[in-house]
Amino acid sequence: MKILVLNCGSSSLKYQLIDMETENVLAKGLCERIGIEGSRLKHQPAGKEAVIFDDYQENHSVSVKMVLDALTNPEYGVVKSMKEINAVGHRVVHGGEYFANSVIITPVVIVAIEKCCDLAPLHNPANLIGIHACEEIMPGVPQVAVFDTAFHQTMPKKAYLYGLPIKAYTDYKIRRYGFHGTSHSFVSKRVAEFLGKPVEDLKTIVCHLGNGASICAVDGGKSVDTSMGFTPLAGLVMGTRSGDIDPAILEYYANKEGLTLSEVTTVLNKKSGMEGLTGGKSDFRDLEEGYEAGDQACIDAIEVFCYNVARFVGAYAASLNGVDVIAFTAGIGENSGFVRGKICEYLGYLGITIDAEQNSKRGEDIIISTPDSKVTVCVIPTNEELMIARDTKALVEAQRS
């Protein structure tokens, strides 16, 4: 079975075609600037040079068509015809309280995703455009929605309710939803497999540290708490996002700077975090370079980041009433031994000791704690596309049988 995984943004579309017999990626790529001058498609067939197509992409339907043309192209393609693509798996950001699992897309599912547009106005409409484009161009091919929020639907009420007037929840559905669910689900399962232990027996804290960052407490394979909230702005201090702040800051800062609330929210999303603290640096490779060179802003930003991660790990060790495994993943978590090491310096009270040589490795499943460490600390590269493809395969096969 071959599955096309799509991740549609408002002006972008990322894809992977995965052969599910081997779970190998046959081709992947990215459409950028959809509907904007200067559109381009970068198509990367496995083991071959990438190809760039710079035809104008008026909308997502045009982009999906171009992706299918690239995938079936006699020279750069990886399949002979579109008929070889058995199903499409879509990343959908928000499933609200409607979806605790991935689902086959039906008209009823589409209505529920539409209802969640209010909760994720930048993402869900783009995800729906991708779904409709596939319906138009690949009629009859089963499509599956995999939600970023679904994994966290197992959180208990005490973890997801905010201390607001209860009508905020009952009337407006304001609650903690959590995001990066596909990654937290993948990593918490993979770490159990890697350690040769049943996932049901493990208390795991997953640290997804990328440009967007979140932490999840996973008890026996189920999410019981997570750091992102009503939106992906909450929790850790991130690349450009503030993470948790005192909510009274919004009005105070708006008054001081003469900004509207909406403009302050943009500052919190795009001009804060590492970028805001350093006045422009959000990539950890630059931040680490600055740290080494003694740049005080970079030193402060990295200290804030690592301290915040350690703080959440401590909170979730309490939520879980203990912790067996801590797993680092995503761009920073997989690649920066420096950041992992600094975070773990705070965790000695949990009986954690780190093997410096193991911690200098990156980009593979590894244990970075010493054999006598009371908690096993691992690096587990995340693979959200594979998780989407696996869910898609399972649902399509279940529907067939």
- Dihedral sign (CA 277, 215, 380, 323): positive
Instruction: Please tell me whether residue 285 binds ligand AMP under the rule CB under 6 A.
Output: yes
- Closer CB to ligand AMP, 31 or 207, in the complex: 207
Cβ atoms of 6 and 15 within 8 Å: the answer is yes
- Closer CB to ligand AMP, 296 or 360, in the complex: 360
The residue whose two tokens read 């939803």 is: 177
- Closer CB to ligand AMP, 98 or 284, in the complex: 284
Computed on alpha carbons and rounded to an integer, the radius of gyration of the chain in Å comes to: 22
Q: Name the strand (E) or helix (H) holding 343.
A: helix 337-345
295-313 burial, b at 16+ Cβ within 10 Å, e below that, comes to: bebbbebbebbbebbbebb
* Minimum separation from the CB atom of position 78 to ligand AMP (A): 24
Instruction: Please tell me whether residue 235 binds ligand AMP under the rule CB under 6 A.
Output: no
DSSP classification of residue 369: B
Instruction: Please tell me whether residue 335 binds ligand AMP under the rule CB under 6 A.
Output: yes
* Minimum separation from the CB atom of position 25 to ligand AMP (A): 16
Strand partners, 95: none
* Minimum separation from the CB atom of position 282 to ligand AMP (A): 6
Instruction: Please tell me whether residue 332 binds ligand AMP under the rule CB under 6 A.
Output: yes
99-116 burial, b at 16+ Cβ within 10 Å, e below that, comes to: beebbebeeebbebbeeb
Cβ atoms of 57 and 43 within 8 Å: the answer is no
Instruction: Please tell me whether residue 16 binds ligand AMP under the rule CB under 6 A.
Output: no
- Closer CB to ligand AMP, 187 or 320, in the complex: 187
Question: What distance in Å separates the CA atoms of residue 175 and residue 282, rounded to the nearest whole number?
Answer: 28
Question: What distance in Å separates the CA atoms of residue 313 and residue 122, rounded to the nearest whole number?
Answer: 30
Instruction: Give catalytic residues, as residue numbers.
Output: 148
Alpha carbon 63 to its chain centroid, in Å, reads: 23
Closest CA to 179 of 207, 209, 147, 210: 147
* Minimum separation from the CB atom of position 227 to ligand AMP (A): 15
> What string marks each residue from 188 to 227 as x (binds ligand AMP by CB under 6 A) or -?
----------------------xx----------------
Contact range with ligand AMP by CB under 6 A, out of 151-159, 171-179, 279-287, 388-396: 279-287
Contact range with ligand AMP by CB under 6 A, out of 41-49, 142-150, 311-319, 332-340: 332-340
Q: Determine how many CB atoms are found less than 10 A away from the CB of residue 168.
A: 15
* Minimum separation from the CB atom of position 228 to ligand AMP (A): 14
399: buried, middle or exposed (CB in 10 Å: 19+, 13-18, 0-12)? exposed
- Closer CB to ligand AMP, 306 or 395, in the complex: 306
Instruction: Please tell me whether residue 312 binds ligand AMP under the rule CB under 6 A.
Output: no
Question: Which of 61, 102, 127, 336: binder of ligand AMP (CB under 6 A)?
Answer: 336
Instruction: Please tell me whether residue 239 binds ligand AMP under the rule CB under 6 A.
Output: yes
Instruction: Please tell me whether residue 331 binds ligand AMP under the rule CB under 6 A.
Output: yes
First-to-last alpha carbon distance for the chain, in angstroms, is: 15
Q: In the β-sheet with 2-8, what is the strand arrangement from edge to edge?
A: 51-53, 40-45, 24-32, 13-19, 2-8, 87-92, 143-147, 103-104
Instruction: Please tell me whether residue 276 binds ligand AMP under the rule CB under 6 A.
Output: no
* Minimum separation from the CB atom of position 290 to ligand AMP (A): 12
Instruction: Please tell me whether residue 273 binds ligand AMP under the rule CB under 6 A.
Output: no
Instruction: Please tell me whether residue 232 binds ligand AMP under the rule CB under 6 A.
Output: no
Instruction: Please tell me whether residue 361 binds ligand AMP under the rule CB under 6 A.
Output: no
* Minimum separation from the CB atom of position 344 to ligand AMP (A): 16
Which residue's Cβ lies closest to ligand AMP? Answer: 331
Instruction: Please tell me whether residue 240 binds ligand AMP under the rule CB under 6 A.
Output: no
Instruction: Please tell me whether residue 284 binds ligand AMP under the rule CB under 6 A.
Output: yes
* Minimum separation from the CB atom of position 90 to ligand AMP (A): 20
Question: What distance in Å separates the CA atoms of residue 364 and residue 261, rounded to the nearest whole number?
Answer: 43
Instruction: Please tell me whether residue 330 binds ligand AMP under the rule CB under 6 A.
Output: yes
Interface positions with ligand AMP (CB under 6 A): 210-211, 239, 283-285, 330-332, 335-336
